[in-house]
Amino acid sequence: MIGPVSTALAPDLAPPTTPGGRGGGTVRHLATKLGGAVVSLLMVIVLGFFLFRVLPGDPVKTITRGAPVGPQQLAALRHELGLDKPIAAQFVDYLAQLARGDLGESYQFRVPVSTLIGERIGPTVLLVGVATALAILVGLWLGTRAAWRRGSRFDRISTGVALLLWSAPTFWLGLVLLTVTGNLFPSQGLINPNTPAGFLPQTLDLLHHLTLPCLTLVAVLYAQYLLVMRSSLLEEMNADYLVTAKAKGLRDDLVRRRHAVPNAMLPTVTLIFLNLGLVVSGAVTVETVFSWPGLGLLTYQALQGPDLPLLQGLFVVLAGAVLVMNLIAELLYQVIDPRVRAT
Amino acid sequence: MSTPSPTAIAWQRRRAAVGRVWQEFLSDRGGLFGLAALSLIVALAVFAPLLSDASGLDPTHATGRPLEAPSGHFLLGTDNLGRSVLLQVWWGARISLLVGVLATLVSVGIGTLVGVAAAHFGGWTSAVLMRFTDFFLVLPSLVLAIALSTVLNRGIFAIVLAVGVTSWPSTARLVRAQTLAVESRPYIERAWALGAGHVHVIIRHVLPAVAALVFANTTLTVANSIIAESTLSFLGLGDPNAASWGEMLNAALGSGAVTYGAWWYLLPPGLAIALVVLAFMLAGRALETVLNPRLRER
């Protein structure tokens, strides 16, 4: 879930070390990373099958929970869903479907799961993207100030507030914001159907709807950036090259902006991607509170059934997306940190 | 005067070490606040049956009107069924803390087992276990926890399992690193040379050496477990008969009390969660700083 503070709120973000110092090191390193990611993706696919087909025992019972259904209907439903075949055959069917990009049909909406996910992915990417960008900006800025004036009142207050916001459950923060702002912001949806057509009014209405969900997500996310930036900069501040920079007579402000901050920012790049799991959790709860029509709200709706094919599809897509993003982060790190590349 | 036995010397050293840790812990104001808040909350939760009357939780015995604002009689007002919100928050602490602690035990248990095994046996075991750990580390755990608690029979047990099974990887990595550090020390080599087996080395040497860090990590994990529990309960995956704080918030939203503007029903459970999580976090962080020399400089 959300990582603990010192070990995971500010996790061990040391640059990944490359084994071997020979010429083929980089290629081998890449191959290892790619291989690991492929194995992880396969594990997600197997886990998806295991969780939703094997673990429930009889998925039909889960679907019809509480409803009066006769044995004949149960058998018919089982046949329709292919659940009367042996587990191995079901697994082969599942793999064949996945290979075709077919995630099955939702019980609730009676449309293919892939269509549903395709429709809902846009709003989630918008919400999560804007919130992450804002959280990084706020976190890095506050973290830099806090570290530069370590132990000052600004440091203590900003770190304290960040920890407090991080401690509160996301959905509760959203509800409180909703109650406090009253009718100032719309409480649900993406856009008001009565908004006049045209680019400007539509965009403004979208931003109006985006404000509260985005604020809630930022409040929870920025603490980690603040703490990581703070500790990373504190470590950097003991470095010899900063003493040199100061000795050259550079202004304090320039030493910070040109020399210390760029180096201290490296660990936060990994954090952006490590945080994706947290971002997904945040999206589920925030979208539920604000009825933001994205993948998070879809997860909540799938829970009500429970709509097992939809949940399975969401699980595979969300977990797969996080894994792929992580791979990108590791590769990106190679490019931006020369120390990793050199080995 | 007879010379003290080796066991006595060992215990004397342990007592001295605990004393030093305690002294350093006392100098951390945040940690001290966390510890004090936790002691108070745990005491209140444990002694709730002695200090208050549980019959007020039963909707059929509710004495107030629905959604009464705070007054002298109901300090935090009433919920949609006319029950005291204060009493519910008080008794909710029992469920929230219990689920948080149980889930943490599951999580730390798995994490310690995987971490020690990976570091101790090395080779293929380590490669497979760490691949597995990294996989779970990046997996969006709320989605996995939702999936788990959907397919299991709903209730406290499902939540404990769902939270525990999804939150162990950071513990496993911490324990693995610490075990590797411990096993490279000469006294482990001495034990091997004297003919010690895997079980002896792990139980007598490795576990005591990693126990302190695991304990600090446990404190931090409880904080996460409590947030995770409240999130799952809020999404409607909890047990409606075991009213934890998350369950209360679920009821507050579901009954329309939030839309009605009943802030006295919305604020107390959330503040309680934030306070407990913050207290666990501050105490755990202080403990970790004292125990982990790498963090001490910061």
DSSP string, A93-131: HHHHHHHTT---B-TTT-SBHHHHHHHHHHHHHHHHHHH
Chain A residues touching residue B227 (CB < 8 angstroms): 1-2, 167, 169
Kind and range of the H or E run holding A244? helix A240-247
Choose among B140, B173, B281: nearest Cβ to A167.
B281
* pLDDT tens string A29-38: 788 888 888 8
Q: Is B15 within the bounds of a domain?
A: no
Distance CA B133, CA B118 (A): 10
pLDDT tens by residue, A29-88: 788 888 888 888 888 888 888 887 776 666 676 666 666 677 787 787 777 777 777 888
Closest by Cα among B291, B287, B273 to B100: B273
Cα A265 to Cα A258: distance, rounded to the nearest angstrom = 12
On whether the CB atoms of residues A188 and A206 are closer than 8 A, the answer is no
A323 close contact with B: CB closer than 8 A: yes
pLDDT of residue A131: 93
Which long-range contacts link A37-45 to residues 24+ away (Cβ below 8 Å)? A37/A323, A37/A324, A37/A326, A37/A327, A39/B131, A39/B135, A40/A323, A40/B131, A40/B134, A40/B135, A40/B138, A41/A320, A41/A323, A41/A324, A43/B135, A44/A315, A44/A316, A44/A319, A44/A320, A44/A323, A44/B139, A45/A95, A45/A98, A45/A316
Average pLDDT over residues A297-304: 89
Q: pTM of the predicted model, to two decimals?
A: 0.84
The CATH number that applies at residue B141 is 1.10.3720.10
DSSP bridge partners of B84: B78
The CA distance from A77 to A91, in Å, is 18
> Confidence class of residue A25 from pLDDT cuts 50, 70 and 90?
low
Q: Which residues contact A52 (CB under 8 A, 6 or more apart)?
A: A59, A308, A309, A311, A312, A315, B147, B151
> Would you say residue B215 lies in a domain?
yes
* Closest alpha carbon within chain B to A228: B298
* Chain A residue closest in CA terms to B272: A168
Q: Residue B78: beta bridge partners?
A: B84
Cβ pair A7:B170 closer than 8 A: yes
DSSP code for A278:
H
Query: pLDDT at residue A143 above 70?
Result: yes
Q: What is the DSSP letter of A258?
A: I
Mutation choice for B interface testing from A2, A6, A173 by most B CBs within 10 A: A6
Identify the closest residue of chain A to B130 by CA–CA distance: A36
pLDDT surpassing 70 at residue A318: yes
| B14 within domain boundaries | no
Number of domains in chain B: 1
Average pLDDT along chain A: 81
How far A248 CA lies from chain B's nearest CA (Å)? 27
Task: Please work out, in degrees rounded to the nearest 5, the angle formed at the alpha carbon of residue B111 by the alpha carbons of B109 and B113.
Answer: 70
The answer to whether position B4 is within a domain reads no
Residues B97/B49, Cβ–Cβ less than 8 Å: no
Residue pLDDT tens, chain B, 298 long: 567 788 888 888 888 888 888 888 888 888 888 899 999 999 988 888 887 777 767 767 767 777 767 776 767 777 777 777 788 888 888 889 999 999 999 999 999 999 999 998 888 888 889 888 888 887 888 888 888 887 777 778 888 988 898 889 888 988 998 898 888 888 888 888 998 888 888 888 888 888 888 888 888 889 889 998 999 888 888 887 778 888 888 888 887 777 777 788 888 888 999 999 999 988 888 888 887 665 554 4
The answer to whether residues A127 and B234 touch, using CB atoms and an 8 Å cutoff, is no
Contact by Cβ (8 Å): B96, B244: yes
What amino acid occupies position A40? S
Which pLDDT band, with edges at 50, 70 and 90, does A2 fall under? Answer: very low
- What one-letter code names the amino acid at A17? T
Question: Which pLDDT does position B77 carry in this prediction?
Answer: 74
Residue with tokens 């793999």: A95
Q: Is residue B3 part of a domain?
A: no
Domain limits for position B243: 20-51+71-297
Give me the pLDDT at residue A188, please.
76
The model's confidence at residue A11, banded by pLDDT at 50, 70 and 90, is very low
d(CA A103, CA A114): 6
Which amino acid, B125?
A: T
Whole-number Å distance between alpha carbons of B82 and B61? 9
Residue of A nearest to B144 (CA): A315
Q: Shortest Cα distance from A149 to chain B (angstroms)?
A: 13
ipTM of this model?
Answer: 0.83
Give me the percent of chain A exceeding a pLDDT of 70: 87
First to last CA, chain A: 33
Full set of structural domains in chain A with CATH: 120-342 (1.10.3720.10)
- For chains A and B, count residue pairs whose Cβ atoms are closer than 8 Å: 177
Contact between B140 and A319 using a beta-carbon 8 Å cutoff = yes
**Residue that is written with structure tokens 């996995």 in the block:** B144
Contacts with A319 (C-beta within 8 Å, 6 or more apart), sequence order: A44, A47, A48, B139, B140, B143, B144
Total count of residues recorded for chain B: 298
Chain A 161-190, CB below 8 Å of chain B: which residues? 163-164, 167-173, 175-176, 178-179
> Does B7 fall in a domain?
no
Would the CB atoms of B138 and A168 count as touching at under 8 Å? no
Q: Is B266 exposed, middle or buried (0-12, 13-18, 19+ CB in 10 A)?
A: buried
CB contact under 8 A, A322 and B285: no
Spell out which residues of chain A touch residue B163, defining contact as CB-CB under 8 Å: 1
Interface test with B, best of A2, A7, A108, A235 (most B CBs within 10 A): A7
The Cα–Cα gap between A70 and A59 comes to 16
Lowest mean pLDDT among A133-137, A242-246, B50-54, B210-214: B50-54
Q: Is residue A109 within 8 angstroms of chain B, CB to CB?
A: no
Taken in order A117, A120, A125, A131, the sign of the CA dihedral is: negative
Q: Which residue has the higher pLDDT, A343 or A269?
A: A269
Residue with tokens 């470590």: A235
Residue B34 lies in a domain: yes
Do A303 and B237 count as a contact with CB atoms less than 8 A apart? yes
A105 strand-pairing partners: A112
The answer to whether position B248 is within a domain reads yes
Higher pLDDT, A178 or A82: A178
For the beta carbon of residue A13, count every other beta carbon within 10 angstroms.
17
